[in-house]
Amino acid sequence: MDPIVYVSLGAALAAGLAGAASAFGVGVAGAAAAGVVAEDEKNFKNALILEGLPMTQSIYGLITLFLILMVSGILGGGFKFTANTPDNIVKSAILLGAGLTVGLTGLSAIPQGVIASAGIGAVAKNPKTFTQGIIFAAMAETMAIFGLVGALIMIVTGVGF
Amino acid sequence: MSGILDTTLALVFTWVGYKTSMIIYKYTPYSYPNARIKAMEAKLLIEQRFNELAESRTLQNFVVSLEDTPYRDYLADLQSYDVESIERALEKALAGTYELMAKILPKRVNPFFRLLLEEWDVRNITSVVKAKLADEPAMDYVVEIGPMLQKVKAMAEAKSMEEILVILEGTPYEEPYQKLLLGEIDVRAFETELYKMHYGKLLDYALSKKDEERTILEEFVRLRIDKLNILTALRGKAARLSAEEIRPMLIPGGSVKLDPLLHVEDLSMALAELDSTKYGPVIRDVREEVEKDLGVLERVLEEHIIERMNELNRFYPLSVATPLGYVLQKEREVRKLRAIAKLISDGLPPERIKELAGDVA
């Protein structure tokens, strides 16, 4: 494959996978939010906060997309790895790896949505569990953060600005 | 290098895709209903509310006290504040709960709740038949729930036992009723036959499911069968019936073997036998009370089922355990409210009402 394919795939997978996962996560939590609000409108605020948690993975995906596009020169200049040399292939493969790392760890948005959904139900039953619900859902976020940090290291050390 | 990369990517994506789709398939359909049910659980009446209701003194006050609860809509249509109308409104509220469950739950489990509603048909049909045989007004025994409610009402108004057969034509209850009419079975065997059919259907449905849905539904049905069988066996023992007389009344499909219990001489020994089963810890603390009143056993077994469903609910928060636990709690709530309404209409003092309502299973 040409370097441009690796780079484009890396950027697309980072934003695409994480974005799709966030959509599913928010969807699952959103359905739960609608359920508790249907019973009592007072649940809206708590449900909204928990529902929003799985959205962050899509932000990490977007950040990675911009970084990949910037370091490869697609954004703000000419593409740096046009020539099909081993060095360019390695660098573009690293960018694909970075994108894939963020994309795959971004899938944590789906289980996070499931946790948030259960949390929304728990908070509707007992509002005192709101903080705990946030903490439980935020645990799934850790994987996405690890992925983002890993991708940043790969981009900075493997390719550089 | 490209080959290795492509293969790795294909494997990773296939595995991730499979796992992701499994999560979405398993949990997404329960997201909305379970969250809504949790919010509904928050509205279940607590002990303090029951005590306040017990102090209502009049049925009008009792109805007014329920205005800020989900029963408001059902009580709004009351023509008069008599106990029968209130009971009917509460029964309709319970029927509404079942209907809501069947409506909001995923298609792969909602038929189970329709099947659960059929238990009310079984109860109504046996009550009507017993009332007719005893020459009592059958309509008084009809509970306003069940998919066959209209037919049940028609049965209650039937002028003869043969007319009931015509009403039951085409239903699964026709055959056992025919046997009853022909004298091949007595009313007790007729009732058992109907319950066997009903629980057979529930168990078949539970066993047709997979994974945790099967685990939860199967346990729920087996617990209910156990409860009925234990009560039947112990009532039989209290009435000094032999094992041969009790055995045909038991429903197949329970999780405990009750045979040793049937061969003992009296209730006390039967309870000792029950102690060695998984229900031992459930009855141990109330054994003395149970020996005096089997209603206590009914209450603790019902509480045990609710507690078990709550445990499963904690383990599987996005599963069918949540609605099952809720329906059981709602049934208990309605039973308590009906009892309080009845006791108020009987003119009992609030302290006595609180005491008696607390004993309701």
A161: pLDDT strictly greater than 80: no
pTM: 0.84
Angle at alpha carbon of residue B53, lines to B52 and B59, rounded to 5°: 140
Report pLDDT for B81. Answer: 85
Work out the percent of chain B whose per-residue pLDDT is above 90.
Answer: 44
Q: What is the DSSP string of A100-118?
A: HHHHHHGGGHHHHHHHHHH
Tokens linked to A76: 């703000």
Q: Maximum distance among all alpha carbons in chain A?
A: 62
Report pLDDT for B356. Answer: 82
Average pLDDT over residues A10-29: 94
Work out the percent of chain A whose per-residue pLDDT is above 90.
Answer: 75
Report pLDDT for B211. Answer: 87
Closest chain A residue to B28, measured at CA: A28
Is residue B22 classed as helix, strand or coil in its secondary structure? Answer: helix
At B227, the pLDDT band (50, 70, 90 cuts) reads: very high
Cβ contact, residue pair A28, B27, below 8 Å? yes
Cβ contact, residue pair A121, B16, below 8 Å? no
A139: pLDDT strictly greater than 90: yes
Instruction: Give the distance from residue B20's alpha carbon to the nearest chain A alpha carbon, in angstroms.
Output: 8
Where helices occur in A40-159 by DSSP H, the ranges are 44-52, 56-71, 86-105, 109-125, 130-153
- pLDDT per position as a tens digit, B255-282: 988 888 888 888 888 888 888 889 888 8
B360: pLDDT strictly greater than 80: no
Q: Residue A63: which of A149, A137, A143, A160 has the closest Cα? A: A149
At A37, the pLDDT band (50, 70, 90 cuts) reads: very high
Out of A27, A29, A122, closest to residue B38 by CB: A122
Question: Which carries the bigger pLDDT value, residue A17 or residue A158?
Answer: A17
- Tokens 């962050």, residue? A56
Report pLDDT for B190. Answer: 92
Out of A93, A100, A117, closest to residue B35 by CB: A117
- Tokens 């219990």, residue? B261
**Chain B residues whose beta carbon lies within 8 Å of the beta carbon of residue A107:** 16, 20
Task: Check residue B240 and report its DSSP letter.
Answer: T
Tokens linked to B136: 């009592």
Q: Which residues numbered 8-67 in A keep a CB inside 8 Å of some CB on B?
A: 21, 24, 27-29, 31-36, 38-40, 43
Dihedral angle over CA of A121, A122, A128, A131, nearest 10: -90
Query: Does the complex come out with an ipTM higher than 0.85?
Result: no
Report pLDDT for B361. Answer: 54
Instruction: Give the distance from residue A32's alpha carbon to the nearest chain B alpha carbon, in angstroms.
Output: 4
Report pLDDT for B130. Answer: 92
- Tokens 């959904």, residue? A117
- Tokens 């049909």, residue? B125
Cβ contact, residue pair B38, A124, below 8 Å? yes
Report pLDDT for B359. Answer: 66
Q: Residue A138: which of A49, A64, A46, A60 has the closest Cα? A: A49
* Chosen from A87, A110, A128, A132 to mutate, greatest number of chain B CBs within 10 A: A110
Report pLDDT for B286. Answer: 86
- List Cα–Cα distances, B157 to B26, B82, B130, B188, B194, in angstroms: 47, 22, 14, 22, 21
The torsion angles phi and psi of B66, rounded to 5 degrees, stand at -95, 10
Report pLDDT for B353. Answer: 87
At A96, the pLDDT band (50, 70, 90 cuts) reads: very high
The helix (H) or strand (E) run that includes residue B282 is: helix B280-283
A44: pLDDT strictly greater than 60: yes
- Report the interhelical angle of A56-71 vs A130-153 (nearest 10°): 10
Instruction: Give the distance from residue A154's alpha carbon to the nearest chain B alpha carbon, in angstroms.
Output: 17
Question: Which carries the bigger pLDDT value, residue A149 or residue B357?
Answer: A149
Closest chain A residue to B29, measured at CA: A28
Cβ contact, residue pair A39, B40, below 8 Å? yes
B313/B56 Cα distance (integer angstroms) = 35
Name the E strands within chain A: none
* Chosen from A6, A13, A22, A36 to mutate, greatest number of chain B CBs within 10 A: A36
B73/B35 Cα distance (integer angstroms) = 22
Q: Residue B77: which of B69, B86, B68 has the closest Cα? A: B86
Average pLDDT over residues B336-353: 90
Neighbours of B116 (CB within 10 A): 21
Average pLDDT over residues B287-291: 85
Q: Residue B67: which of B82, B38, B35, B89 has the closest Cα? A: B89
Cβ contact, residue pair B39, A40, below 8 Å? yes
- pLDDT per position as a tens digit, B39-90: 999 999 988 899 899 988 889 999 999 988 999 988 888 888 888 889 889 9
**Counting every residue, how long is chain B?**
361
Average pLDDT, chain B: 89
- pLDDT per position as a tens digit, B159-191: 888 999 999 999 999 999 999 999 899 998 999
Task: Check residue A154 and report its DSSP letter.
Answer: I
Where helices occur in chain B by DSSP H, the ranges are 2-41, 47-54, 59-65, 72-75, 83-104, 110-133, 149-157, 161-167, 174-181, 187-207, 211-238, 243-246, 259-262, 267-275, 280-283, 287-292, 294-315, 321-345, 350-358
* Chosen from B22, B31, B330 to mutate, greatest number of chain A CBs within 10 A: B31
Among A101-110, B21-30, B147-156, B172-181, name the one with the lowest average pLDDT.
Answer: B21-30
At B33, the pLDDT band (50, 70, 90 cuts) reads: very high
Q: What is the DSSP string of B305-329?
A: HHHHHHHHHHH-SSSTHHHHHHHHH
